[in-house]
Amino acid sequence: MVGSLNRTCLVLNQNYEPLSITQVKRALCLIYLGKAEIVEQYGFGIHTVSNSFTAPSILRLLYFIHIKRPNLPLTKRNILKRDKYICQYCGTKNGPMTTDHVIPKKLGGKDTWENLVCACVKCNNRKGERTLEQADMELLRHPKRPHFFFIVHNLVRIPDPKWKQYLFLE
């Protein structure tokens, strides 16, 4: 039973926008308190001495909450994850990956999601401290700050395929 209670549950805002991920234990509290309703259930139940429940997989809050999501930390690991460990210059997946400043630091380039990309060692060395134009190189795609759904998709194991439609992964 303890294992089932530690399963994760996707929490949707009142407007069905994904909000957070919580444990089944906490999800059951929200339902008990009348703050949320069950949208989807897992195929198993939870039995306690006096009660039995069907484990919720997706919950929807019955009230709307305005939330400012925490920013994903800008780290080498997260840059590489965002770019799926693909060199953004040549497209290779081979070899150790580095992060490259699109506009080099020497030329005023900043440490931002928009200016850092995953690059293989070869491309990083080839580009050196030059701009794309100077190096005559192109990016596979324009680097952006990852969306909240990226975090859910990449950093959390999705325990139920039903989540995908709510996370716009289908």
Rounded distance between C-alpha atoms, residue 159 and residue 57, angstroms:
8
**Closest separation in Å from C-beta 92 to Zn ion:** 5
Bin 107: left if φ > 0, else alpha if -120 < ψ < 50, else beta: alpha
CB closer to Zn ion out of 39 and 103 = 103
Which of 99, 93, 87, 89 minimizes the C-alpha distance to 135?
Answer: 89
CB closer to Zn ion out of 14 and 92 = 92
CB closer to Zn ion out of 89 and 163 = 89
- Phi, psi for residue 164 in degrees, rounded to 5: -55, -40
**Closest separation in Å from C-beta 142 to Zn ion:** 17
CB closer to Zn ion out of 142 and 157 = 142
- Phi, psi for residue 22 in degrees, rounded to 5: -135, 175
**Closest separation in Å from C-beta 86 to Zn ion:** 9
Alpha-carbon Rg of the chain, whole angstroms?
21
Residues that bind Zn ion (CB under 5 A): 87, 89-90, 120, 123
**Closest separation in Å from C-beta 114 to Zn ion:** 19
